[in-house]
């Protein structure tokens, strides 16, 4: 879970996927302050902001849902119809 005291720049450096979320909330991702301060100054609900950031940070990266290592699998192993070969 993201903490209110995290620096904006540190957050973006560690989690680049947070950048568009911050921008969506009208927060400059290059801001040199903490999440709590920038949320307070911009009138953004810190709870909503943290929830949105946690959701995107906890989401699996693209391609993470591909099962296993397929490098050693032959098309013949998959029982594909002969016209695929």
Predicted TM-score (pTM) of the model is: 0.68
Confidence of residue 75 (pLDDT cuts 50, 70, 90): low
**pLDDT score at 58:** 84
Span 7-11, mean pLDDT? 95
**Closest by alpha carbon to 11, among 50, 44, 69, 45?**
50
**pLDDT score at 73:** 56
At 12-48, the pLDDT tens digits run 999 999 999 999 999 999 999 999 999 999 999 999 9
Span 72-76, mean pLDDT? 58
- Residue 68, sorted as left (phi over 0), alpha (psi -120 to 50) or beta, turns out to be left
Does the pLDDT of residue 57 top 70, yes or no?
yes
Pinpoint the alpha helices (H) of the chain: 8-14, 19-24, 35-42, 46-58
């Amino acid at each position: 879970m993201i903490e209110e005291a995290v620096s904006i720049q540190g957050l973006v450096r560690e989690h680049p996927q947070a950048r568009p979320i911050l921008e969506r909330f009208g927060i400059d991702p290059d801001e040199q302050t903490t999440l709590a301060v920038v949320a307070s100054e911009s009138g953004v609900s810190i709870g909503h902001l943290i929830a949105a950031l946690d959701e995107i940070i906890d989401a699996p990266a693209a391609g993470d849902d591909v099962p296993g290592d397929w490098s050693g699998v032959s098309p013949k192993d998959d029982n594909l119809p002969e016209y695929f070969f």
